[in-house]
Chain A
Amino acid sequence: MAGIMFSDRVERRATHASELAGGIEHLLSRVHNPGPSTPTHRATDPMPRPALLASLLLLAASPCSGRTTIHLEPIAPGVFVHQGVHELPDRHNQGEIANIGFIEGQRCVAVIDSGGSPEQGRALREGIRALTRTPICYVINTHVHPDHIYGNRAFREPGVRFVGHHKLAAAMAARAAFYIDKASRDLDVALTAEDFVLPDIEVNGELELDLGERRLTLVAHATAHTDNDLTVYDETTQTLWLADLLFMDHLPVIDGSLNGWLKVLDRVRAIPAKRAVPGHGPVAAFWPADAAPEIRYLSELRTELRAAIKQGRTIEQAVASAGRSERNRWALFDEFHPRNVATAYAELEWEED
Chain B
Amino acid sequence: MHRRPLVFSSLLLAIALLSPSLGSGASDMPDETAWVNGLRAKFIGEKAIEEGNDVIELSAPYRAEDPALVPLQITSRIPQTPERFIRKITLVIDNNPVPFGASFEFTPDSGKADIAMRVRVNSYSYVRAIAETNDGKVHMAKAFVKASGGCSAPIGGDLEAAMARLGKMKFKMDGERLTPQQPNLTQLLISHPNITGLQMNQISRMVQPAHYVEEVKVSFNDRPVMTAQTDIAISADPNFRFYFVPQGQGELKAEIRDNLGGRYSTTQTLTP
Residues of A within 8 A of B (CB): 42, 49, 52-53, 56-57, 60, 169, 171-178, 180-182, 184-185, 188, 193, 196, 198, 223, 227, 255-257, 260, 312, 314-316, 319, 338-339, 342-343, 346-347, 349-350
Interface presence of B200 (CB below 8 A):
yes
Q: Which residues of A contact B241 (CB under 8 A)?
A: 314
A118 to B156, CA, bound (A): 24
Q: Which residues of B contact A319 (CB under 8 A)?
A: 65, 71
**Per-position binary interface string of chain B over residues 211-252, scored 1 when its CB falls under 8 Å from any chain A CB and 0 otherwise:** 000000000000000000000000001010100000000000
Q: Say whether A343 contacts B191, CB under 8 Å.
A: no
Contact of B153 among A49, A172, A178 (CB under 8 A): A178
Contact of B66 among A171, A180, A339 (CB under 8 A): A339
Looking at the assembled complex, report how far the CB atom of B147 sits from the nearest CB atom of chain A, in whole angstroms: 11
Q: Which residues of B contact A255 (CB under 8 A)?
A: 156-157
Q: Which residues of A contact B158 (CB under 8 A)?
A: 223, 227, 256-257, 260
Binds A, one of B8-16, B24-32, B91-99, B126-134: B8-16
A350 to B238, CA, bound (A): 12
Ranked nearest first, the 3 interchain pairs of A and B with the lowest CB-CB distance are: A176-B202, A173-B203, A177-B200
Q: Which residues of A contact B160 (CB under 8 A)?
A: 227
Quick one: given A176-B202, A198-B203, A223-B158, are A343 and B8 in contact (CB under 8 Å)?
no
Q: Which residues of A contact B172 (CB under 8 A)?
A: 312
Q: Say whether B23 contacts A185, CB under 8 Å.
A: yes
Quick one: given A177-B152, A178-B154, A342-B66, are A193 and B202 in contact (CB under 8 Å)?
yes
**Per-position binary interface string of chain B over residues 147-169, scored 1 when its CB falls under 8 Å from any chain A CB and 0 otherwise:** 00100111111111100010000
Interface presence of B208 (CB below 8 A):
yes
Q: Can you identify 10 A-B contacts, CB atoms within 8 angstroms?
A: A56-B12, A174-B154, A223-B157, A227-B157, A257-B157, A312-B174, A314-B116, A315-B71, A346-B69, A346-B237
Q: Which residues of A contact B22 (CB under 8 A)?
A: 185
Interface presence of B19 (CB below 8 A):
yes
A153 to B9, CA, bound (A): 36
Quick one: given A227-B157, A312-B172, A349-B189, are A178 and B8 in contact (CB under 8 Å)?
no
Contact of A184 among B21, B153, B237 (CB under 8 A): B21
Contact of B65 among A49, A60, A172, A342 (CB under 8 A): A342
Interface presence of B118 (CB below 8 A):
yes
Q: Say whether B65 contacts A57, CB under 8 Å.
A: no
Q: Say whether A57 contacts B8, CB under 8 Å.
A: no
Q: Say whether B11 contacts A52, CB under 8 Å.
A: yes
Quick one: given A56-B12, A177-B202, are A343 and B157 in contact (CB under 8 Å)?
yes
Q: Which residues of B contact A180 (CB under 8 A)?
A: 202
Quick one: given A56-B12, A314-B241, are A174 and B157 in contact (CB under 8 Å)?
no
A338 to B152, CA, bound (A): 21
Interface presence of B201 (CB below 8 A):
yes
Interface presence of B18 (CB below 8 A):
yes
Most A C-beta atoms less than 10 A away, residue of B19, B71, B152: B71
Chain A residue at smallest Cβ distance from B156: A255
Looking at the assembled complex, report how far the CB atom of B49 sits from the nearest CB atom of chain A, in whole angstroms: 27
Looking at the assembled complex, report how far the CB atom of A293 sits from the nearest CB atom of chain B, in whole angstroms: 22
Interface presence of B204 (CB below 8 A):
yes
Q: Which residues of B contact A350 (CB under 8 A)?
A: 165, 189, 191, 237
A227 to B202, CA, bound (A): 18
Q: Which residues of B contact A172 (CB under 8 A)?
A: 202-203
Q: Say whether A56 contacts B237, CB under 8 Å.
A: no
A175 to B155, CA, bound (A): 8
Chain A residue at smallest Cβ distance from B22: A185
Interface presence of B179 (CB below 8 A):
no
Q: Which residues of A contact B191 (CB under 8 A)?
A: 350
Q: Which residues of A contact B118 (CB under 8 A)?
A: 315, 346
Most A C-beta atoms less than 10 A away, residue of B18, B118, B201: B201
Quick one: given A178-B149, A182-B149, are A173 and B157 in contact (CB under 8 Å)?
no
Q: Which residues of A contact B12 (CB under 8 A)?
A: 56
New A-B pairs, 6, CB < 8 Å, besides A172-B203, A174-B201, A349-B239: A57-B18, A176-B203, A178-B149, A196-B203, A227-B157, A256-B158
Q: Say whether B8 contacts A42, CB under 8 Å.
A: yes
Interface presence of B182 (CB below 8 A):
no
Q: Say whether A316 contacts B71, CB under 8 Å.
A: yes
Q: Say whether A178 contacts B152, CB under 8 Å.
A: yes
**Per-position binary interface string of chain B over residues 182-208, scored 1 when its CB falls under 8 Å from any chain A CB and 0 otherwise:** 000000010100000001111110001
Q: Which residues of A contact B18 (CB under 8 A)?
A: 57
Q: Say whether B14 contacts A53, CB under 8 Å.
A: yes
Q: Which residues of B contact A349 (CB under 8 A)?
A: 189, 239
